[in-house]
Amino acid sequence: MKSLKKQSAFTLLEVMVALVIFSIGLLGLAGLQSAGIRNNQVSYSRTIAQQLAYDMTDRMRNNPGVDYSGIAGAANDCVNANCTSANMAAFDVFEWNTAITGPDSPLKGATGFIVNNGNGFTISIGWDENGVGGGPATGCNPAAPAGFMCVSVDMR
C-alpha cells in the first residue's frame, strides 16, 4: 500500500487575512504621507510669510524717516530713476503687496499690514491657512480671524 504524505499549504482564509492586514498597513502609510504633505505645505507658507515680513523690515531700514503705515503702494520707476523717500516707500509697499498677493504666492487670501505702534512698526501678514475662504484677512492685531494665520514682526 502506498502511504499518503501529508501536505501543508496556506489556506484561502489565511491568505485573505494576510491581505486585509497588509491593506490596512498600506492605508495607514497613505494617510501618514497625506498628513506629511499637508504639514509641509503649512510650514512652507509660514516660512514665506516670515521671509516677506523681514523683507519689508529691511526695506524700511533702508529708507529711514518715512512712516510706512499710511502709504498706499504705487508702481513707479524707482529702480531706474531718482526718486524721493516717499516715492521709494510707495514702491516698496507696492512690491511687497505684489509678492504677498501675486499668482506665485503660496499664501491664499493674504493681506499685509504695517502699523505704527509708537516705538516703531509692526509688520504683519495674514492669510487663509486652512483654505476655508471667507475673503482676505482684515487684521492681525490682536489676533487673526478664525481660520487665518498671522505672522507679525516688530521693528524699532
Tell me the per-residue pLDDT of 91-148, one tens digit each, with 9 for 90 and over: 889 989 889 988 888 888 888 888 888 888 889 888 887 766 555 555 676 565 667 7
* Burial grade of 105 (CB within 10 A; 0-12, 13-18, 19 or more): middle
Q: What is the dihedral of CA 9, 12, 16, 18, to 10 degrees?
A: -10
Q: Could you tell me the residue range of the domain that residue 101 belongs to?
A: 47-155
The predicted pLDDT at position 86 comes to 85
Residue 117 grid cell: 505702534
Q: Is residue 125 part of a domain?
A: yes
Tell me: the pLDDT tens digits for 37-60?
A: 988 988 998 899 999 999 999 999
Residue 113 lies in a domain: yes
Domain membership of residue 40 (yes or no) is: no
Q: Is 130 a member of any domain?
A: yes
Residue 39 belongs to some domain of the structure: no
Mean pLDDT, rounded, for 149-153: 85
CA-to-CA distance for 152 and 87, rounded, in angstroms? 25
Give a yes or no: residue 38 inside a domain.
Answer: no
Note whether residue 116 is domain-resident. yes
The structural domain count of the chain equals 1
